[in-house]
Amino acid sequence: MPSLEVPGEFLRHAVLDTVVPNADDIDLEAALTSALEAGADDLTDVLSYIPQRSVVFFDEFCNARVVLRLSNCSEESLKQHLQHLEVRLDTFAIDPAESVADNPTPTRDLIFSRAVSGKDEDPLVVYNEFEGDNGRGNHVYVIWGVPAFLKRPRIRIQHPSLLFIASASLNPTEGRQSESRDDDYLPSLVPASTNILQPLSTDRTFRRTDPFLPASRLLRVVPATYSEDPIYNVQQQSGHPIRVVPATGARIRYSRLNSYSGRPTTVASLDFEVTPFINCDVTFNKAELSLSDGTIETLSDVQGLKPPITCRPRDDVTLVYKLTPEYGPDSNPSTTVMVSTLDISLEAVINLAENCQPRIAMRWRTNVDFSMALNPMFGGPSQALQRNNRPTSLPMTPTQNSGNPPSNRSSFRERAYSVTDVGVTISFSGPVSVEVGKPFSWGVFVVNRSTMPRKFAMVAIPRRKRTDLRGHVARPSSSSMSNRSKENQVAEAVTDDNIVHAMQKSASGQEAELVCLSTDVRVGPLLPGTCHSTELKLLPLSVGSLYLEAVRLVDVNTNETTDIRDLPDIVATDRKGPS
């Protein structure tokens, strides 16, 4: 068996493959042993003895396996290089029906990626010794378990399937550095310079010693690039597409109570639906809702609607909740736009078989508008006046304030809510108190309430100090004064050069107080009635109340701009040093 002390030889004949077992508690060592005893030699043939999943589901926690087969690897070499080995699993959503002739660049979307290292993870190792044509050899199977979350792709795919691709990289940094510190000789496997006097070695004149003259002494030889920290890679040659379907779906709807109340109340109905793509029971185990500024009361807390709930395909379970906001001591709910954040978390189990029960998890965040109507007793239309689009109440819309920040505020705002003229509702949420020099983020939630698709670019405009708001004042020039005696041969100068120089010398630069680190934020395309959530990353550079001039919303299709000036408050404090 050849020695594998050289790091590059460790992955010389390595082969990678992935497998998604059908059973959650499968004994992989016993399955591989039975496959090897049956005479399977190729890695694909060996893994075919393991029962695998034929279909997976979106929003599923899938237990995938990465299998690395090494050839003629000793136990000492495996212990030496396994701690420097990193294995990565990438999961792509593809359409297997696409042909290369129709689309040279097949559509794919990366939905999951994770790397595991031999130093942190403890893989399963299976040895197999055999007798070959070149003598005795062995195959070493190293297996890692990688839990993958199969989120939904960001692009629309007609017939989606998932492709699991594994890759391995060897980075023997520590071992190479420790060896090269005390070794002053030529590194191993690096060729020496050519001997120019090699043909004279057969001459009888040189009996005692062989003539030696390296080519590097005569010729300009470009040194070979040798890295002290080499990295060796191996990747899975081909993948096995697995069909993926949505097993469940969920949505939430809101209904504001029309009856007059001192505190606005919204009823939320959460629908959990089982799709017809599966033919088994689904156990709805968990439904949790969390409101940032308010309380939640479950209205469907009756027998049969308490999780866990057993559902069949095409079943639709509706859970009803009562959402009530909380106000501060100085806020007035009748004149304030109140928007709260609602976090939703759902979990379910698909009972495919006794040993195969995939777990589904769905989590998302949305905004709830608790703004009270100006006249809640507006009521329905009378018989004398009938309009198709008559509102049930007169809503309160936020006013567009000026560029100056509001002077009298009873409390600092963590959220701001705006309605644009293009039919888009946008809200900002973030921390009020921040530290100087420490970046923070604003959460941006955009809802397209118009009847056409929208695509926007979002740009933060910093606030500039007002230096001199007075208009231009013409100043007499010395040159024009001297030429005044002439008869209108030369026009009078607007201002003299020395005045311009003095103004430029006395001008002071403006220091930035708040810097936006998100230079290119894109939103969309948003279909009518859809929403999008993103972030604006900001960096405070001075102490005190900080403001942005506006957040500009640019319609990519029409280049129409909208400046949003109703933004959350920012109070920056000094960074706390070590005590």
Domain that holds residue 75: 7-176+232-243
Location of structure tokens 């500009």 = 552
Q: Indicate whether 67 and 159 sit together in one domain.
A: yes
Q: 295 Cβ partners below 8 Å, 6+ apart? A: 323, 324, 326
Residue 531: the pLDDT is: 79
Task: Give the model's confidence band at 104: pLDDT under 50 very low, under 70 low, under 90 confident, else very high.
Answer: low
* 567/515 Cα distance (integer angstroms): 15
Residue 339: the pLDDT is: 75
Q: Indicate whether 238 and 254 sit together in one domain.
A: no
Residue 180: the pLDDT is: 46
Ramachandran class of 114: left when φ > 0, alpha when ψ lies in -120 to 50, beta otherwise: beta
Retrieve residue 356's tokens.
Answer: 């195969």
Alpha helix (H) residue ranges in 420-578? 478-482, 497-506
Give the chain's end-to-end CA distance (angstroms, integer).
Answer: 60
Q: Does an H or E element contain 359, and which?
A: strand 359-369
Helix (H, G, I), strand (E, B) or coil at 336: coil
Q: Indicate whether 21 and 62 sit together in one domain.
A: yes
Indicate the residue among 223, 243, 263 that finishes a domain. 243
Residue 578 lies in a domain: no
Strand positions, DSSP E, 452-501: 454-462
DSSP 476: -
* 33/310 Cα distance (integer angstroms): 39
Q: Which domain CATH number covers 447?
A: 2.60.40.10
* Tens digit of each residue's pLDDT (9 = 90 or more) over 298-349: 988 887 788 889 999 999 999 999 988 876 444 555 545 567 888 999 999 9
Residue 533 lies in a domain: yes
DSSP 53: -
Q: Indicate whether 112 and 260 sit together in one domain.
A: no
Task: Give the model's confidence band at 405: pLDDT under 50 very low, under 70 low, under 90 confident, else very high.
Answer: very low
DSSP 217: G
Q: Does an H or E element contain 279, and which?
A: none
Q: Indicate whether 238 and 92 sit together in one domain.
A: yes
pLDDT at 89 over 50: yes
Cα angle: 564, vertex 568, 573; to 5 degrees: 135
Residue 57: the pLDDT is: 94
Residue 457: the pLDDT is: 84
* Tens digit of each residue's pLDDT (9 = 90 or more) over 161-189: 999 999 988 876 554 444 444 455 556 65
Q: Indicate whether 334 and 422 sit together in one domain.
A: no
How many Cβ atoms from other residues are within 10 Å of residue 426's Cβ? 23
Q: Does an H or E element contain 349, and which?
A: strand 339-350
Q: Indicate whether 114 and 239 sit together in one domain.
A: yes
Q: Quote the number of domains for the chain.
A: 3
Q: Indicate whether 90 and 236 sit together in one domain.
A: yes
Indicate the residue among 339, 369, 399 that finishes a domain. 369
Q: Indicate whether 430 and 516 sit together in one domain.
A: yes
Residue 333 lies in a domain: yes
Retrieve residue 235's tokens.
Answer: 């990747």
Q: Indicate whether 21 and 158 sit together in one domain.
A: yes
Q: Between the CA atoms of 15, 20, 23 and 27, what dihedral angle is there, to the nearest 10 degrees?
A: 20
Q: Indicate whether 358 and 435 sit together in one domain.
A: no
Indicate the residue among 369, 394, 428 that finishes a domain. 369
Q: pTM (2 decimals)? A: 0.57
Residue 342 lies in a domain: yes
Cβ atoms of 152 and 111 closer than 8 Å = yes
Residue 1: the pLDDT is: 42
Retrieve residue 278's tokens.
Answer: 């599966």
Residue 219 lies in a domain: no
For the ranges 22-36, 255-269, 338-352, the lowest mean pLDDT is seen at 255-269
Q: Indicate whether 144 and 163 sit together in one domain.
A: yes
Residue 374 lies in a domain: no
Share of the chain above pLDDT 90, in %: 15
pLDDT at 362 over 60: yes
pLDDT at 505 over 60: yes
Mean of per-residue pLDDT scores for the chain: 75
pLDDT at 532 over 50: yes
Residue 419 lies in a domain: yes
Which residues lie across from 360 on neighbouring strands? 60, 348
